[in-house]
Structure 1
């Protein structure tokens, strides 16, 4: 499979996946027009967790006792906590910049693998991490006048990418015997009830539904949860089956481009410093994930 060219279906699905995930940040922005950040995150998690339930019911029998606490951890650090961090961050960050900062996830995964799971790192990967960190610094300090003005909300996105990195390492090192759909679907379902209970009890959600202007933001959030999380997961796993994880990971490079274009079309400013930060992060990710080519045996 690794030596075969990806089929056209895989390319089309990869493009669709980039559009879905790249537009997620704009959907968060629209959702915040009618709901508070904590409400947005709760709606997103609840809708994604319950919509996947019919697809994972038969998979519960593959989950054993020792899996449950691990899956709860995955649900928390892989979905629940990042959903709240992204929602609060976008109260002060443009959706395009948020999409670019999210690209730091592969580097955060690598750093956590080294620090907590004793993963070995090549010099090339350290170079990629350093370049990515420089790009991140450029993004969280970008301003209209070209000066370096630190935006603390950018740290919320970095915290979310650290959660994603911890989640990926947790899955890789501690839950290798469960499939990706089982892990994601069950872990989401485990945290969805808490999100729904919080939404209905701790927020004025039901009262807000009486207001006509709340329906458009609610639609954006439901689209974010159902399509941006549940449907995207199905597409992601389909692409992995059609090709391999290396090909699928290339969506990392497409998501920020989509997020930036949609942000600009929605009237968000774009600064030269942000472009430099995007280029640095993508370069860092590419360098850190570049594999050495095997030596070619020449005839003698």
Structure 2
């Protein structure tokens, strides 16, 4: 990658790494669904303003808006809500570590739904390492428990599975759209879904009182969602999908450090061991770990949603 691509990749990792802390701050004053409603609603407004500034055509096809609705549900409403609820019960750093499993579930989802994404030996090894990492990060003694902490971890895992299915949906229903349009349509549909849900379950959307909550909302909606989506596609164009997978490895250390500094969080040793296994699995999936010794392993897997939005923490 070029120095510029590396720089933007690192900036993207810093932005998304900080989103976990900002969401946790907002959760001190608002419920998880309200947090998500603010996130997708404000980001949708900003992206449509960008679309208007660029002079891009607004899609009017009912079929496309059905596609946006499915994408908004799978890529925003479900994962954002599950992960926000999970953060009420587990550390921000652990949430980021488990979020790195998105790529693992994405490979499996692609293998199930697409004939050209078969599970090769390299992908099978990377996926197995990834699953071992997720299980280790959760803690083998916690896998059978049903306490709030274990349920919070399972909620985050559920979010990563939803991200993986979103990649499949995007490839089937949103291929060929400009990414800015796809992201704006997705977030608009997500807003239409989450607003009534938040109203019914948590009550009318409150205006935050604490300045820290306002700062958190602005950060995770404007910077970590709207701006990050636009930056994601810039980096994708410069670095390619295989190199872009590295952002997943960089996000977790940022979130762990911020959680330790700002929230005095301390993760158990097995969380770090799990992240190491997850990182190894992602490196194998990316092909970097085997490229020098086994060129026959095949090309780097392309992103599951080359023309649609990618998952964001």
TM-score by length of 1: 0.86
Q: Which runs of 5+ in 1 are unaligned?
A: 296-300
Q: Is the 8 A contact 2:242 2:286 kept in 1?
A: no
Matched, 1:174 2:137: no
Aligned residue runs from structure 1 range 1-300, under 5 A: 5-6=1-2, 8-57=3-52, 58-61=55-58, 64-118=61-115, 119-141=117-139, 148=142, 150=145, 151-199=150-198, 203-205=202-204, 208-209=206-207, 212-213=209-210, 215-266=211-262, 267-290=264-287, 294=295
Equivalent-residue separation in structure 1 for 2:251 and 2:92 (angstroms): 12
User: SS in structure 2 opposite 1:243?
Assistant: helix
CA deviation profile, 1:134-154 (whole Å, cap 9, x unmatched): 111112227xxxx65741211
Structure 1: distance between partners of 2:128 and 2:200: 44
Distance 2:59 2:241 in 1: 23
Quote the offset at 1:60 in angstroms. 4.0
Aligned length: 283
SS where residue 152 of structure 1 aligns? helix
| Structure 1: 4+ residue segments shifted above 6 A | none
**In 2: Cα distance, 1:265 partner to 1:201 partner:** 36
Q: 1:194 to 1:50 in 2, by over 3 A?
A: farther
Which has the greater radius of gyration?
1
Residues 43 and 199, structure 1, Cα contact 8 Å, conserved in 2: no
| 1:189-232 per-position Cα deviation (integer Å, ceiling 9, x unaligned) | 222234345556764456x53x743x422331231111111011
Distance 2:49 2:209 in 1: 31
Aligned equivalents of 2:126, 2:243: Cα separation in 1: 19
Indicate if the aligned counterparts of 1:17 and 1:251 stay in contact, CA closer than 8 A.
yes
Match of 2:304 in 1: none
| Unmatched 5+ stretches in structure 2 | 297-313
> What displacement does 1:46 show?
1.3
Question: Per the alignment, in what secondary structure is the counterpart of residue 244 of structure 1?
Answer: helix
Distance in 1 of aligned mates of 2:28 and 2:204: 14
Moved more, 102-111 or 41-50: 41-50
Q: Are the structure 2 counterparts of residues 242 and 115 from structure 1 closer, same or farther at C-alpha, using a change threshold of 3 Å?
A: closer
